[in-house]
Amino acid sequence: MLFLRRQLLRTLSFACGSSVILGRNQLGVAAQTATQPKVSPPPAGAAVRDGIAGGTEMEKVTGIGGFFFRAKDPKALGLWYQQHLGISLTPSNEGDPVWEQEAGPTVFAPFPETSKYFGDAQKVWMVNFRVRDLDKMAAQLQAAGIEIKMYPPDPTGRFARVHDPEGNPIELWQPKVPDTKG
């Protein structure tokens, strides 16, 4: 298991432009970082919203660097995600591309363990992927014989639900484009 982690981290470090130093009992990641610009103090009441505590800015994660989960057949499932959703798998060589997301909103929301939102009660996670054109994505999936359920639009955009070959729920979201008229 340790070898797989090391191999994955080395590959990701090549793809993402950071240095990974692996000691016997430690892991140090030294990423190339730009100097952060100076910012004005936040308005009153923004501490919790913006992650600032006691007048000191809280260090926050910058995004999701990977999504790891168990699968009955990892190779086949990875290939399904690659073929139908366009997600590049973990690079196996230094020159291989890594999947890069477009910038955009990300929701992180633990649900009650009794939630029916995921469907099957045995499924403990669901991934939500942003898409540019939900209709085009839905047509592509349907043409491949993948069942997709479209939902009515809501104030945040349009949603659909599919399941991967192992029954894991996947939510597709086309965010609402802000009205720029005015």
Dihedral of alpha carbons 131, 134, 136, 142, sign: positive
3-class state of residue 117 by DSSP = coil
Q: Answer yes or no: are the C-beta atoms of 88 and 82 closer than 8 Å.
A: yes
Backbone angles phi, psi at 7, to 5 degrees: -60, -45
In tens, the pLDDT along 87-139 reads 998 888 998 888 999 999 999 999 999 999 999 999 999 999 999 999 999 99
Q: Answer yes or no: are the C-beta atoms of 180 and 123 closer than 8 Å.
A: no
Q: Answer yes or no: are the C-beta atoms of 22 and 9 closer than 8 Å.
A: yes
Residue type at 175 in one-letter notation:
P
Highest mean pLDDT (candidates 59-68, 87-96, 158-167): 158-167
Q: Can you give the pLDDT at residue 40?
A: 53
